[in-house]
C-alpha cells in the first residue's frame, strides 16, 4: 500500500506544486524519488512528530496541501494535541499518513501496534478517516484526500498486501465499495482485513453454499450509512472485521447506525480485544492469535449463521 500511496502522491505533486510531503526521518526506500524530483515540496523534519504537525499546519496556512508520513502511532498518538489544536481546530489541509496499521510492525511490540488510531482519528472534529483495503484503493484514496479540503487520516498497510480489485473500482470518500453481492449475510471490512473478508466469503460459499456480500468500508468518517442500511434490509446478518480495537472503530461505527434502525439484523463485530498484545511476532502470527485469520473468521461467521462445522 505504501508504494501505491507514494506513486499516487508523486503524480499529484507533478501536477500541483502545492502538494508537499513531510517525513519524520523514515520512509527510506519509499520517499527517495519524491524527494529527488520535488525538493521544494519535501521536508524531513527529523524524529519530531509534534513539530512535524506544527510545520504542516504552517505550510497549510500558506496554501500548501500537506501530507505527513510516519509509521504506526507516531503521526497520530505521539502528536495528538498538535493534530487536534493546530490542524483540526483550524480545519487545515493536512493529511496524516500512517504506515503499518494494526499489527504490521508486530515484532516491535505494543509501542508500534496501531490498534486505537481509527477511534482516535474518528473522534477529532473535521477529520476524514480512510483505511483502504488494497493497494488499488490506497492510490485512489490518496488522490481523493488530496482533492478534499480539510484534515484527513490515511491508514495504510506496510507492504506486500494482496490486490483485491481486478481493476480500479468507482471510488469516492464516504461511499463503500461492494466487492461482491450476496443475500445470506454482509461482511463489512476496513483496511487490511478486506482480503481476509473476501477469502472467508469464498470459503463459506465453497463449504456451505453461503452467498455473502462483501463490502469494503474504506472510509470510516464519513461512514457510508446507506451501505449499512442496505445490508440491514437485504441480509440477515452483518459481520464487521477490522484490525483495530473493538472500541471506537468500524464495529462501533456500524453499531451506531444499526441502533437507529427499525430492523435489527444479527450483528457480530470481529476486532481486537481492548488490551495490549502480550505477544510479539509478525503480523500473520498476531492476527491468528487475535482471531483475525481466514479460518477463525469463517468459524465466527458460521456460528452467527447457525451453520454446522
Q: Give how far Cα 265 sits from Cα of 186, 188, 193, 227, Å.
A: 10, 14, 22, 14
| 132 in the same domain as 59 | yes
User: What is the band of 116 on the pLDDT scale with cuts at 50, 70, 90?
Assistant: very high
| 236 in the same domain as 148 | no
Global pTM reads 0.96
* CATH code of residue 124: 3.40.50.970
| 128 in the same domain as 6 | yes
In a domain, 246, yes or no: yes
pLDDT digits (tens, 9 = 90+) for 85-112: 999 999 999 999 999 999 999 999 999 9
Q: Which three cell numbers stand for residue 122?
A: 474518528
| 7 in the same domain as 150 | yes
| 295 in the same domain as 257 | yes
User: What is the band of 158 on the pLDDT scale with cuts at 50, 70, 90?
Assistant: confident
Count of domains in the chain?
Answer: 2
| 181 in the same domain as 127 | no
| 107 in the same domain as 70 | yes
Query: Average pLDDT in the 282-287 region?
Result: 95
Predicted pLDDT at 29: 84
User: What is the band of 309 on the pLDDT scale with cuts at 50, 70, 90?
Assistant: low
Classify 212 as helix, strand or coil. strand
- Distance, in Å, from the CA atom of 293 to the CA atom of 296, rounded to the nearest integer, reads 5
Query: Average pLDDT in the 32-52 region?
Result: 96
In a domain, 78, yes or no: yes
* Residue 182 pLDDT exceeds 90: yes
* Residue 264 pLDDT exceeds 90: no
**DSSP H or E segment with residue 243:** strand 237-245
In a domain, 186, yes or no: yes
Classify 176 as helix, strand or coil. coil
Q: Which three cell numbers stand for residue 16?
A: 500541483
- Distance, in Å, from the CA atom of 249 to the CA atom of 258, rounded to the nearest integer, reads 15
| 194 in the same domain as 146 | no
Asked if 46 and 74 touch (Cβ cutoff 8 Å), the reply is: no
* Residue 59 pLDDT exceeds 70: yes
Predicted pLDDT at 28: 82
| 125 in the same domain as 254 | no
Exposure of 47 in the CB half-sphere (CA atoms within 13 A): 0
Residue 180 burial by Cβ neighbours in a 10 Å radius (0-12, 13-18, 19+): middle
- Distance, in Å, from the CA atom of 121 to the CA atom of 7, rounded to the nearest integer, reads 25
| 183 in the same domain as 85 | no
Classify 24 as helix, strand or coil. coil
Which structural domain, as residue segments, surrounds residue 117? 2-156
Instruction: For 73-138, give the DSSP string.
Output: TTTTTTTHHHIIIIIITTT-SEEEEEES-BTTTGGG-GGG-B-SHHHHHHHSTT-EEE--SSHHHH
Query: Average pLDDT in the 54-62 region?
Result: 98
Predicted pLDDT at 278: 87
Question: Residue 11, Cα to own-chain centre: how many angstroms?
Answer: 22
| 186 in the same domain as 132 | no
In a domain, 41, yes or no: yes
In a domain, 169, yes or no: no
| 246 in the same domain as 146 | no
- Distance, in Å, from the CA atom of 1 to the CA atom of 160, rounded to the nearest integer, reads 8
* CATH code of residue 195: 3.40.50.920
Q: Report which DSSP code applies to 255.
A: H
Amino acid at each position: 500500500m505504501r508504494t501505491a500511496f507514494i506513486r499516487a502522491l508523486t503524480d499529484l505533486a507533478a501536477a500541483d506544486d502545492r502538494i508537499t510531503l513531510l517525513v519524520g526521518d523514515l520512509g527510506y526506500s519509499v520517499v527517495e524519488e519524491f524527494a529527488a524530483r520535488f525538493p521544494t515540496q519535501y521536508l524531513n523534519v527529523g524524529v519530531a512528530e509534534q513539530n512535524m504537525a506544527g510545520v504542516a499546519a504552517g505550510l497549510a496556512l500558506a496554501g500548501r496541501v500537506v501530507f505527513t508520513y510516519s509509521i504506526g502511532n507516531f503521526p497520530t498518538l505521539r502528536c495528538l494535541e498538535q493534530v487536534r489544536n493546530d490542524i483540526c481546530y483550524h480545519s487545515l489541509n493536512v493529511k496524516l499518513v500512517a504506515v503499518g496499521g494494526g499489527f504490521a510492525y508486530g515484532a516491535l511490540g505494543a509501542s508500534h501496534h496501531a490498534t486505537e488510531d481509527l477511534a482516535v482519528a474518528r473522534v477529532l472534529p473535521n477529520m476524514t478517516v480512510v483505511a483502504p483495503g488494497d493497494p488499488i484503493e490506497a492510490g485512489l484514496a490518496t488522490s481523493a484526500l488530496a482533492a478534499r479540503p480539510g484534515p484527513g487520516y490515511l491508514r495504510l498497510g506496510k507492504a506486500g498486501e494482496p490486490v483485491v480489485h481486478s481493476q480500479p473500482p468507482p471510488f469516492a470518500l464516504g461511499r463503500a465499495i461492494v466487492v461482491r453481492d450476496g443475500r445470506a449475510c454482509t461482511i463489512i471490512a476496513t483496511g487490511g482485513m478486506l482480503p481476509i473478508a473476501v477469502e472467508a466469503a469464498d470459503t463459506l460459499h465453497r463449504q456451505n453454499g453461503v452467498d455473502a456480500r462483501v463490502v469494503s468500508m474504506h472510509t470510516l468518517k464519513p461512514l457510508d450509512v446507506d451501505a449499512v442500511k442496505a445490508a440491514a434490509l437485504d441480509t440477515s446478518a452483518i459481520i464487521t472485521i477490522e484490525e483495530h480495537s473493538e472500541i471506537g472503530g468500524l464495529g462501533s461505527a456500524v453499531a451506531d447506525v444499526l441502533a437507529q434502525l427499525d430492523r435489527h439484523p444479527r450483528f457480530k463485530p470481529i476486532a481486537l480485544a481492548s488490551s495490549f498484545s502480550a505477544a510479539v511476532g509478525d503480523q500473520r502470527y498476531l492476527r491468528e492469535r487475535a482471531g483475525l485469520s481466514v479460518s477463525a473468521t469463517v468459524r465466527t461467521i458460521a456460528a452467527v449463521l447457525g451453520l454446522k462445522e
